[in-house]
Amino acid sequence: MSYLFTSESVSEGHPDKVADQISDALIDNFLAFDPESKVACETLVTTGQVVLAGEVKSKTYLDVQKIAREVINKIGYTKSEYMFDGNSCGVFSAIHEQSPDINQGVERKKKEDQGAGDQGMMFGYATNETENYMPLALQISHMLLKELAVLRREGKEINYLRPDAKSQVTIEYDDDNTPIRIDAIVVSTQHDDFDTEAKMLKKIKEDVINILIPRVKKQLPKNIQALFNDKIKYHVNPTGIFVIGGPHGDTGLTGRKIIVDTYGGKGAHGGGAFSGKDPSKVDRSAAYATRHIAKNLVAAGLCDEVLVQVAYAIGVAQPMGIFIDTYGTSKVKLTDGQIAKKVEKLFDMRPYAIETRFKLRTPIYSETAAYGHMGRTCETVEKQFTDGSGKVKKIKVKLFPWEELDYVAKVKKTFNL
C-alpha cells in the first residue's frame, strides 16, 4: 500500500537559522586566522537583540559584533520596521575561554591520536531517489525557500517578501519505496502589510503557485518534474497574516533545526547540532564523514539506500564502532554487519583523519548554515576575512567536501562491484 512522507525546511531568515549563520560566521573567522582554534559558540536572537555565548581557545582577536551585524544585514534584516536589523540591534558577547578539562581530552602530542571532542553517535544517510542522493521531500523543500529568497532579492516578480519563511513537502511513495507524486506543498512566508487579509492571501497564493513553483520545477530533472500534478494540495500562509516574523516574531537559537540540516526525518539523527562547533567536535565532523560514506556506498551501487552510524567516547580517537543498515537494498551477498567491517577498514574515522581528509580546519562553514549541510554542491571558492585589528585575509577553500564521490572506485574494488 502506498504511503506519504513529509519533510520541511526553513529560510535563511528564520530566527533559528539567523542564529546558526552567526555562529558559523564566527567559526569561519576564527579558523581563517587561526586554523587550530577550538570554538563552541551559541547565538540567541530576539527582538532587537543578539546574545553570543560559548567557549573559545584561539590566538586571534575578532570584532564579533561586526561579524554578527554583517550576517544579519546579508540575510536581509535591514529595516527598522522588522524590529530586528543589523545596524541597530544590540549585540552582547559572553564568549569565554574553553575549559582546560575538555581540551586535555582532545589534544595529543601526536595529532593522529587526537581524541573525540565529545561522546555521542552520529548518522549519515543516502538514497538514490535523487541525483544528489538526498531524500526528495527535503530537497524540494530546500529549493522552494532558496528560490523564494532569490525572488525576494530580485524584488521584481514578487516585491512584498520579508526574510522569514518555511516550507513543507509531502510525497506519496508506492510499495517499492518509489516516489509517485507530490501530495501537498506548504509555503509560509513573511510579507509586507497588505490592505486586507483577503487580498494578501489571494496574491501570495497566486504568486507561489504561478511564479515560485514553475521556477523550482524548471530546475528539477524530468522524472521529478513529472511528480508535480494538478491535484497537489497547496497550503500558502495557512494561518493568515505573517507580517511579524524573524527574531521579533520568535526567539532564535543555534542548533534547533537539526533535521532540516540533515535528512528531513529520513534515516536517523544522533541529536547533536552542527553550527557553532569547530571540527574537533565529532557532532559535526563525524556527521559529515558518515554522509560521505553513505553517499559513496550508494553511488558505487552497493545499495539503493543506506544509514551509517558511528559512535565515540570523549577523548578517545578510535570510534566505538560503525553500524550499517542498507534497508534490504544491498546488492552484495554480505550481511550489513559484514559490510560494516569492510567500511571500517576503508574509511579512517579517527577525528584527526576526518579533519585532514576534508580539510575541515578551513573556513567553510557559513555556507552550511542555511538550506542544509548535506546534498550541496562541492566547489572551490575564494573568501575574504577581516580580523579585529583590520587585517584582511583571502583564502581559497573547498565547500562541502564530504559531498565528493571520491571513494566510489575504492568501494567498488572493496566489494567487487
Instruction: Find the DSSP H helices in 312-370.
Output: 336-346, 351-358
250 is in an annotated binding site: yes
403 is in an annotated binding site: no
Which pLDDT band holds residue 114 (cuts at 50, 70, 90)?
confident
98 is in an annotated binding site: yes
Across the range 363-389, mean pLDDT stands at: 97
User: What's the CATH number for 3-8+136-244?
Assistant: 3.30.300.10
Instruction: Give the per-residue pLDDT at 315.
Output: 87
The answer to whether residues 106 and 114 touch, using CB atoms and an 8 Å cutoff, is: yes
165 is in an annotated binding site: yes
Inform me whether the pLDDT recorded for 113 exceeds 90: no
Instruction: Report the distance separating Cα 152 and Cα 161, nearest Å.
Output: 6
The answer to whether residues 107 and 94 touch, using CB atoms and an 8 Å cutoff, is: no
For the chain, report the end-to-end CA distance as a whole number of angstroms.
32
The answer to whether residues 106 and 315 touch, using CB atoms and an 8 Å cutoff, is: yes
Instruction: Report the distance separating Cα 45 and Cα 32, nearest Å.
Output: 25
Instruction: Give the per-residue pLDDT at 108.
Output: 54
Which pLDDT band holds residue 107 (cuts at 50, 70, 90)?
low
166 is in an annotated binding site: yes
353 is in an annotated binding site: no
Inform me whether the pLDDT recorded for 78 exceeds 70: yes
Beta bridge partners of 275: none
Which pLDDT band holds residue 118 (cuts at 50, 70, 90)?
confident
108 is in an annotated binding site: no
Inform me whether the pLDDT recorded for 117 exceeds 80: no
Which pLDDT band holds residue 97 (cuts at 50, 70, 90)?
confident
Residue 98 or 106, more confident? 98
Q: What percent of the chain has pLDDT over 90?
A: 92
Instruction: Give the per-residue pLDDT at 116.
Output: 83
Across the range 250-271, mean pLDDT stands at: 97
User: What's the CATH number for 120-128+280-415?
Assistant: 3.30.300.10
Inform me whether the pLDDT recorded for 154 exceeds 80: yes
Q: Which amino acid is at 31?
A: L
The per-residue DSSP string of 127-141 comes to: ETTSTTSS-HHHHHH
Which pLDDT band holds residue 105 (cuts at 50, 70, 90)?
low
Domain with CATH 3.30.300.10 in the chain: 3-8+136-244, 120-128+280-415
14 is in an annotated binding site: yes
Residue 1 or 62, more confident? 62
The answer to whether residues 77 and 163 touch, using CB atoms and an 8 Å cutoff, is: yes
Inform me whether the pLDDT recorded for 111 exceeds 80: no
The answer to whether residues 327 and 307 touch, using CB atoms and an 8 Å cutoff, is: yes
Instruction: Give the per-residue pLDDT at 102.
Output: 52
12 is in an annotated binding site: no
42 is in an annotated binding site: yes
154 is in an annotated binding site: no
79 is in an annotated binding site: no
304 is in an annotated binding site: no
Cβ count within 10 A of residue 341: 14
16 is in an annotated binding site: yes
Q: Which amino acid is at 126?
A: A
Residue recorded with cell 537539526: 258
